[in-house]
A and B are shown apart, each in its own frame.
Chain A
Amino acid sequence: MLRAIGARSIDDLFAPIPTEYRLNRELRLPRQMSEPEILEWFQKCSRENGKGLPSFLGAGAYHHYRPVVIDTIISRGEFLTAYTPYQAEISQGTLQSIFEFQTMICELTGMEVANASMYDGSTATAEAAMMAMRVSGRRRVVMARSVHPEYREVLATYGQHQDMPLTAVGFGENGRVKMAELERILGQDCACIVVQSPNFFGTIEDVPALAELARSKGALLVVAIAEAVSLGIVKPPAEADIVAMEAQSFGVPLGFGGPYAGVIATREKYVRQMPGRLVGETRDKHGKRGYVLTLATREQHIRREKATSNICTNQALIALMANVFMTVYGREGLKELAKQNLAKTAYARQHFGRHGKALFDGAPVFNEFVLQTVEDPYVINSRLLEENIVGGFPLKKFYPELGNAALWCCTETTTRASIDAVGAVLARAQTAGKRRPEPEPEVVR
């Protein structure tokens, strides 16, 4: 090949690189490894990473059962090793599956249009708020403190140079957004209210009331959903203007935080302000139905600095996982699945509530709840870990005002036995809390 090119050696081809910058040594990296060595290295890492312990962690990442057909389908090279469906004639598989994904997201959220995916729920929420600024022509964003703290951090990062004043609104005794406070804050400069439902505490917000209040002030309502399985049994936020969703619960492995898939869904009239790729139905030259990427004039490759977002690569394969999951469970299964989550959580909340205080009574929760305890939840979690259970998410870091509180999550995968085991440890912690001192276990953070 060198001869055909007319080069004497491979170095000829690298002549354009100034000699003073060329690397004249090998990279200092692990030596080339064989397949069994690589498998062994990662197997060891895997063994040191959680070991499949029963866990009560949720907080934006949920452990649901993943039907085996998901991996069967997404492992097909035709899906796995294709790229963005720029050439519609040889990408109809990807395009049609995205069209089905968009449709199911609309059915579940009560919105009219949905995009092909965003990076995750946090960036979808930030982009939804920026979209609301474009739609309303206003700049202030009011965000509930009961939105996932890391989603709030991401919004703050995205908004910091967008001339986006950010105001927080607190939560009341029932865990929901404080309506009176919100009403006081909301002014004519507000682009949108951003809430999450079920919110970070698992509490389901009163979306119709929030939408009415937003509308009365000319602001949009953005509803973030971190726990997608809730849509099986919880009324969809159909009154919202924009829904920013994390689809991880739909068959996506926890994967230590990613890759997940965000989605933005909205009303048809706002579609031209929406970021991200969209697939639309059309006809080919013979009149046959087919699908294409559409409304690209919103996007960076056409509009450059005037685009609705800089997003290019999204999370297509993860959206396909969610798509297969939604197809497997479908109209009836998703409801039954959500019901099981509800039942396990109700059982745990009642059970744990005997050994602590279940906060935020008075509004419904889905599959998470906050438990306040006498003892520091980090100490409780250390005890649980000794019994090979991963406890709830301590809230001190983000909500110091809640004291010794943790966020507990149950899904359909949580067994009664593990709930009972936690109950027993909590009961011991309760008595331990009363008769101090006792040798403190090593605190796990």
Chain B
Amino acid sequence: MSQVKKATRHVNQNEGLIFEKSSPGKAAWKLPPLDVPEVDTADLLGEAERAHLGHMPEVSEIEIIRHFTRLSTWNYAIDLGMYPLGSCTMKYNPRINEAVSRFEGLANGHPYQPERISLGALRILKTLTDCLLEITGMQAITLQPAAGAHGELTGILLVRAFLQKQGNPRKKILIPDSAHGTNPATAAMAGYAVENLKSNSAGMVDVASLAAQMNEDVAALMLTNPNTLGVFEQEIHKIADILHGKGGLLYMDGANMNALVGKVRPGDFGVDVMHLNLHKTFSTPHGGGGPGSGPVACKNFLEPFLPVPVIVTKADGTLGFDYNRPQSIGRVRAFYGNFGMHVRALAYIMANGPDGLRQTTEDAVLNANYIRKGLEGVYDLPYKTPTMHEVVFSDRVQAKKGVRTGDLAKRLIDYGFHPYTVSFPLIVPGAMMIEPTESESKEELDLFVDAMKSIAEECDKAPDVVLEAPHSTRVSRLDEVAAARKPVLRWKGPA
């Protein structure tokens, strides 16, 4: 471990479950005195009255603060260092976003308050809408979907509604073998069969196979561009033509939009409908797994089918919601979506401006290529095609010593980094998918490259060090098989 420059072990606090700290009479709450008459709950609720609250905890405020602070120190986070989890775009989450989202009127606005006192929220939604349309080159948009997969479902429902109106919703969705699992799962939820599309030797859609597989049963192709190998689909215009030629639509999974903003617009290269991930490209925090936000942008011919409500500028020039949309696919979520994320994304766009957004894209691609250069020859690079915002290596060389991508990832933890995405995309056996984002400095990237090189050396000289990693964490190699075989999904108090 002497070669580890980025991290040093230090003491961290042990902490049990909150229930194990609980004891009767402790409290962290205080209600104001009741200013209306007390009520007899038994009288009001009768049989519906609850007797007690089981094993809910009773703890003091300092215990709560310490509990969660201690837990937090067991997490890795962007705020601690590079988090190159490919496809997740773990970029810096600017704190201005957090500050503006907490402004009283925005944080406490009720979704059903009259439009007359909702002008601020409406302006934010409208401004963000305009910005995202300009960035994507699309013509209409909904901000309602709560995350990327939710956006995918919305987008495919739009496709289906449009085709249905033409007289035939069609039967299947084509999905490249390099796609995220959410794509096929989405197609199934929208009532479509899934047909796989093989990638060619460059890691791109095989245009000849696409032409052969495309027919009047195909509703759409769900394409991630750049794809999960970080490769831009150079024949995108042919792909779009083949689909459109047979009456199909091109759906773009915008998970990798961080490679395109300000450089090229999906609306200009034949995409009919796409989603964005505000928590990836537009810097809203990932929060340990969410919330995200997955706006769906489309061409005008899909606009009549957007979820209700849509934002409109009324005759008098004020903004409002339009619910009268007879062809709409319906709602995909209550209210208007993850508004708090819309606020943050807009603040990010404003803080960058046109120039900053373009430079962000350039830096993200530059960083990925710098890592590629640094690790080429050390790790196997299965696809030599130019890299955009992320690069996928494989464990082929190290596997000869019995060390797999998952082991290398665990060892990276000891070097002070969050691992890359392990074993994805599925078309690369032993995949190591690295996305540095624009947030990392050359110094951090160099530390990462050094760490990866050092681990490769360990694989040669002392593979057990890697196979038994991580060595520096509170826990190591948790038994996932046992967890799934006999699931313990909650703490149980004494009966």
Q: Residues of A contacting B187 with CB < 8 Å?
A: 305
Assess whether A49 is in contact with B50, with CB atoms less than 8 Å apart. Answer: no
Contact A38 B96 (CB under 8 A): yes
In the bound complex, do residue A235 and residue B334 qualify as a contact, i.e. CB atoms below 8 Å apart? no
**A121 at interface (Cβ–Cβ under 8 A)?**
yes
In contact, A283 and B75 (Cβ under 8 angstroms): no
Contact of B149 among A20, A71, A300, A340 (CB under 8 A): A300
CB distance A53 to B336 under 8 Å? no
Mark the stretch among A110-118, A178-186, A210-218, A430-438 that contacts chain B.
A110-118
B315 surroundings in chain A (CB, below 8 A): none
- Which residues of the other chain, A, contact B90 by a CB distance below 8 angstroms? 81, 83
Chain B residue contacts of A286, Cβ below 8 A: 475-476
Of B93, B288, B369, which one neighbours A7 at CB under 8 angstroms? B369
| Shortest beta-carbon distance from B205 to chain A in Å | 14
Q: How far, in angstroms, from A204 to B41 measured CA to CA in the complex? A: 14
B34, B473, B489: the one contacting A271 at CB < 8 Å is B489
Residues from chain A with a CB closer than 8 A to the CB of B422 are 86
Q: Given A27-B262, A76-B72, A256-B109, A46–B478 Cβ distance below 8 Å?
A: no
Name which of B41, B46, B77 has the most chain A CB atoms within 10 A of its CB. Answer: B77
Nearest Cβ distance between residue A16 and chain B, in whole angstroms? 4
Given contacts A39-B96, A61-B111, A90-B473, contact A313 B116 (CB under 8 A): no
Q: At the interface, yes or no: B6 with Cβ under 8 Å from chain A? A: no
Q: Does B118 contact A (CB under 8 A)?
A: yes
A320-355 CB mask vs B (1 if < 8 Å, else 0) is 100010111111111111011011101100000000
Beta-carbon contact of A304 and B333 below 8 Å? no
Proximity string of chain A (149-193) to chain B, C-beta cutoff 8 Å, 1 when within and 0 when not:
011011011101111000000000000000000000000000000
Q: Does A301 contact B (CB under 8 A)?
A: yes
Residues of B within 8 A of A259 (CB): 146, 290-291, 293, 338-341
A16 contacts B234, C-beta separation under 8 Å: yes
In contact, A334 and B56 (Cβ under 8 angstroms): yes
For chain A, give the interface size range: 35 or more
Q: Are B50 and A290 touching (Cβ within 8 A)?
A: no
Nearest Cβ distance between residue B109 and chain A, in whole angstroms?
4
Distance of B427 from chain A, by nearest CB (Å): 13
Closest to B481 in A: A282
Among A135-143, A273-281, A421-429, the stretch in contact with B: A273-281
Least CB distance, A368 to chain B, in whole angstroms: 13
B287 at the interface (CB under 8 A from A): yes
CB A67 to nearest CB in B, in angstroms, measures: 7
Is A314 located at the chain interface by the 8 A CB criterion? Answer: yes
Question: In the assembled complex, how far is the CB of residue A282 from the closest CB belonging to chain B, in whole angstroms?
Answer: 4
Quick one: which of B123-162 are within 8 Å of A by CB?
A: 123-124, 127, 131, 134-135, 146-150, 152-153, 157, 160
Partner of B386, one of A10, A16, A445: A16
**Which residues of chain B come closer than 8 Å to A373, judged between CB atoms?**
none
Most buried by B among A90, A282, A419: A90
| Given the contacts A27-B134, A76-B69, A148-B334, A284 and B185 also touching, CB distance less than 8 Å | no
A122 within 8 Å of B by Cβ? yes
Contact status A119-B45, CB under 8 Å: no
B371-389 CB mask vs A (1 if < 8 Å, else 0) is 0111000000000011010
Listed residue (B35, B99, B261, B372) with the most chain A CB atoms within 10 angstroms of its CB:
B35
How many Å from the CB of A412 to the closest CB on chain B?
Answer: 7
Would A307 and B56 be within 8 Å (CB), given that A292-B480, A316-B287, A364-B45 are in contact? no
Contact A305 B56 (CB under 8 A): no
A404 touches B (CB below 8 Å): no
Q: Is A439 an interface residue (CB 8 A)?
A: no
Contact with A along B14-56 (1 / 0, CB 8 A): 0101110010000111011011111101001111111111111
The reply to whether the CB of B64 lies closer than 8 angstroms to some CB of chain A is yes
Which residue on B lies nearest to A31, using beta carbons? B353
* Pairwise interchain contact A18-B236, C-beta atoms closer than 8 A: yes
A26 CB to nearest chain B CB (Å): 4
Q: Of B38, B100, B118, B489, which one neighbours A50 at CB under 8 angstroms?
A: B118
* Chain A 86-123 near chain B by CB (<8 Å), digits 1 or 0: 11111111101101101110111000111011011111
A82 to B77, CA, bound (A): 4
- Whether B386 lies near A107 (C-beta < 8 A) is no
Selected contact of B475 from candidates A14, A43, A92, A97, CB within 8 Å: A92
**Which residues from chain A contact B334 at a C-beta distance below 8 Å?**
60, 120-122, 148, 150-151, 154, 257
Asked, given contacts A49-B117, A280-B488, whether A90 binds B351 with beta carbons under 8 Å apart, the answer is: no
> Does the CB pair A96–B71 fall under 8 Å?
yes
Question: Which residues on B sit within 8 Å (CB–CB) of A403?
Answer: none
Which residue of chain A has its CB nearest to the CB of B473? A89
The answer to whether B27 and A332 have CB atoms under 8 Å apart is yes
A400 in contact (CB, < 8 A)? no
Bound together, the chains give a CA A122 to CA B334 distance in angstroms of 6
The residue of chain B having its C-beta at the shortest distance from the C-beta of A41 within the complex is B350
Binds A, one of B207-215, B357-365, B397-405, B458-466: B357-365
- B80-103: CB near A (< 8 Å → 1, else 0) gives 100101001010010010111111
The interface residues of chain A lying within 8 Å CB-to-CB of B351 are 32-33, 35, 38
Inter-chain contact A258/B50, CB cutoff 8 Å: no
Q: 16 more A-B contacts (CB under 8 A) besides A48-B120, A153-B308?
A: A10-B362, A15-B386, A20-B237, A21-B236, A38-B351, A42-B106, A50-B110, A89-B410, A93-B73, A114-B489, A236-B50, A254-B109, A256-B109, A294-B487, A332-B58, A364-B45
Listed A/B pairs (11) with beta-carbon separation below 8 Å? A2-B366, A103-B17, A235-B47, A257-B334, A280-B487, A285-B478, A295-B487, A305-B185, A315-B291, A317-B288, A318-B291
